[in-house]
Amino acid sequence: MRRVAATLVLTLASCHALAGGALAFLSTQTTVTAGEANSFMNRFADCSATPCPVDGMTGYATPTRAGTVTVATQKTTTDLVLRFTVADRTHRRTDDGSMAPTKLTLGDKIIVQLDPNNSRGATLGLGPAAIDKDYRYEVTIKEDGIATALRREPVSGTGWNLPTPWCMNPTPTNTVPQTCSNPAEGTFTLTANSPDYAVELSIPLASIGSPAGDFGLAILIVNDLGHDHGMPALQDLTAVVFPAGDLPASSMAYNDPGLIPSVPLGAAWANPNNWGTGYVTAPPAGSNTQLAMSHSPTPWVSDSIKLGECEIARWEDIGSADTSLAQVGILGWYRYYDVTPCTMGIWVKVTNTAATVASARLLVMWSDGGVTSDQWRVVKLTAPISFGAGDSAFRINWDSVPPGNLTPGTHPCLRVYILPETLLTTFDETAVNAINNPTKLAAFETAYGFPAYPWNARVAQMNFTNLIGNTCPNTACPQPLALGDWGRTMLASLEWIASPAHAQNVAVRGLAATPIAKDERPRPKADYPFAVVAITAFAVPERPQNRHYVFIEPVGGAAWAIPMKTFAKPVTLGVRVTNPAIAFRDFGTKKVHEVKAPVRRIILAAHAEGPEGMGTVRVKLPARKDAMKPGEARIVKAQVTVERKKDPEKQKAR
């Protein structure tokens, strides 16, 4: 979490710019639901009501409800229209329940940004022609009414102006419908406010230069949870982002759901090349042929596929596999617990090789024991997805990973197919979802024209080997949780070892570690032995003030158990390192007092041990980096090698 003097946003997804998400603006209305693959938006997080549950250690709200957000889009002859329906249940501020319900401090917000000429530059368009400018529309909802609404224009390539709002209502009424507008710029209409709120934004085409073609688009939906805390007061917020695979709601690199600064104005949000696409012409039939997945390094270990822990929120927070199939220790990589598997986050990156929008479905298949298995499973047949030019990365969470039925001597594999938007009548959706063995899979591949291995660019596979016994420490993908800085750092990085290959569960509240029972079942000898590597982080103030000493504080750590058989080549471990924004919390007063951390250097120390007689385990840490601001996070990589002992008899023979 980053400590700021205004507010916090808790978001469910963010990612490095890939610029491929697309939403339809056709003559008829198109509706998507946040969290579905075709929306390019993350899930919506909320509480069931106010007050939200509060984390006893940190004092932050703990949203536990996955709500629904739908976005309907359309282009009429005169306007661009966006209709938002948000299943929000936190309409008023109550903090921890100790105060009477009152008006939200920040309020719920909807923000829409447009690049009318679709130039998608690295900086904001300044005009002077209307179509060459970029625009930002904002509405704030409090007391179930419109508090403010306005349109912003760039004052520079990296910043927006703050004009007089279209309307400003310090105490809005809750009568619906209610409208706030500037006829020359646009209109926000609140059409419903209980229990869900619904907002429509109409933008006159003439006001943005009457674009005839596709345009750049970014959306942020901010949910004020009605919980303020700290001094100065911070608000706990959740956010839905379009395109979630491209636009971070912050520069912070945290696991889903990271705590980040509120309502971004600059950074990626001021770079239209990070935005998605609003397209105005339906993709033609067969446009799936302009989509491709990578066959690097091989078709069966495609770098277009990553299998991650379900709470990992960004493509780049998961490491890449290679043909060695040594997947233990890959940053964020999925671990298969064969008794009760965890939910799997399946990430797929698709490249649109053309400048025009393409539409396709994706079919994700799983084989329990690799291509020799008699058992295939349909993970997901998606609805049609629209892909803008360039790369698009998105996640599918699979909560039905099969337990304990791996074929002996083999490994599972996951395969992805790009299909046309309209499925064949001779092999329709029912037939696709019925694929469960090699015969049906072969019939499917023949029907859709997929060649034999090595296939073509519309098929890719990931062979999976990170197999662990026992029960998943977290059997469901966690709901959004607001954690303190120290807690978030630890949760993102700890993997304490209870017994070889069996990690402890790092519980969310209080970070209490609950050991998993040791698995006494026989295991292949190849699984053992292990090297144990532990990395600990210490924070050192950069500029001590008025002191002849400094405090060196431990700020977290991580540990791994790595099979010795993995060390045919060096193993790279990834660790997220954070300078926690809050150095100290004083719970001795009625109101928790938070002391902000200074600028600090984070020093890493490593300890490694290997089995006796099998060589010396060495850890190479990166060179010391610059000091880090409070709340700043980085991913660092450590290289682990084994220096094998030389056989004296062989040395003599030489």
pLDDT of residue 192: 95
Higher pLDDT, 611 or 147: 147
Confidence of residue 407 (pLDDT cuts 50, 70, 90): low
pLDDT of residue 434: 97
How many residues are listed for the chain in this entry? 654
434-443, 453-462, 627-636: least confident range: 627-636
Per DSSP, 121 falls in state -
Higher pLDDT, 454 or 98: 454
For 255-298, write each residue's pLDDT tens digit.
223 333 345 555 677 889 888 899 999 998 889 999 999 999 99
Mean pLDDT across the stretch 565-581? 75
- pLDDT value at 445 more than 50: yes
| Closest among 388, 393, 386, 439 to 416, alpha carbons compared | 393
pLDDT of residue 13: 31
Mean pLDDT across the stretch 223-234? 79
Mean pLDDT across the stretch 134-155? 95
pLDDT of residue 297: 95
Mean pLDDT across the stretch 438-466? 95
Confidence of residue 571 (pLDDT cuts 50, 70, 90): confident
pLDDT of residue 437: 92
- pLDDT value at 12 more than 70: no
Is the bond preceding residue 384 a cis peptide, omega within 30 degrees? no
Higher pLDDT, 540 or 118: 118
> Which residues are 602's β-sheet partners?
539
Highest mean pLDDT among 161-170, 413-422, 587-596: 413-422
Q: Quote the tokens at residue 211.
A: 């674009």
Distance CA 652, CA 483 (A): 60
Confidence of residue 638 (pLDDT cuts 50, 70, 90): confident
- pLDDT value at 5 more than 70: no
Distance CA 464, CA 525 (A): 19
Higher pLDDT, 595 or 223: 223
Q: What is the mean pLDDT of the chain?
A: 79
- pLDDT value at 518 more than 60: no
Residue 570: alpha-carbon gap to chain centroid: 29
Mean pLDDT across the stretch 191-214? 96
pLDDT of residue 588: 53
For 326-337, write each residue's pLDDT tens digit.
898 888 899 888
pLDDT of residue 540: 84
For 25-50, write each residue's pLDDT tens digit.
999 999 999 888 888 887 788 888 88
What are the DSSP E strand ranges found in 500-552?
Answer: 502-503, 505-506, 513-514, 530-541
| Closest among 115, 28, 107 to 73, alpha carbons compared | 28
**Cβ–Cβ under 8 Å, residues 190 and 169:** no
Count H helices, E strands: the chain? Answer: 4, 45
pLDDT of residue 584: 65
Mean pLDDT across the stretch 447-476? 87
Distance CA 325, CA 309 (A): 18
pTM: 0.67
pLDDT of residue 339: 82
- pLDDT value at 187 more than 80: yes
- Angstrom distances, CA of residue 416 to CA of 160, 207, 347, 396: 41, 43, 10, 12
Distance CA 617, CA 546 (A): 42
CA torsion, points 322, 324, 329, 334, in degrees to nearest 10? 60
Proportion of the chain above pLDDT 70, given as a percent: 77
Confidence of residue 481 (pLDDT cuts 50, 70, 90): very low
For 537-561, write each residue's pLDDT tens digit.
888 887 655 556 667 777 777 777 7
Dihedral over Cα of 553, 572, 393, 436: its sign: negative
- Angstrom distances, CA of residue 16 to CA of 87, 311, 316, 387: 28, 17, 7, 17
Higher pLDDT, 458 or 313: 458
Distance CA 358, CA 286 (A): 8
**Cβ–Cβ under 8 Å, residues 310 and 344:** yes
pLDDT of residue 547: 57
For 54-101, write each residue's pLDDT tens digit.
776 667 777 778 789 999 999 999 999 999 999 999 999 998 888 899
- pLDDT value at 380 more than 60: yes
- pLDDT value at 107 more than 50: yes
Distance CA 537, CA 516 (A): 25
305-314, 367-376, 382-391, 434-443: least confident range: 367-376
**Cβ–Cβ under 8 Å, residues 561 and 531:** yes
Higher pLDDT, 576 or 87: 87
pLDDT of residue 493: 28
Region of 102 (left: φ > 0; alpha: ψ -120 to 50; beta: rest) is beta
Confidence of residue 485 (pLDDT cuts 50, 70, 90): very low
Distance CA 472, CA 478 (A): 13
- pLDDT value at 591 more than 90: no
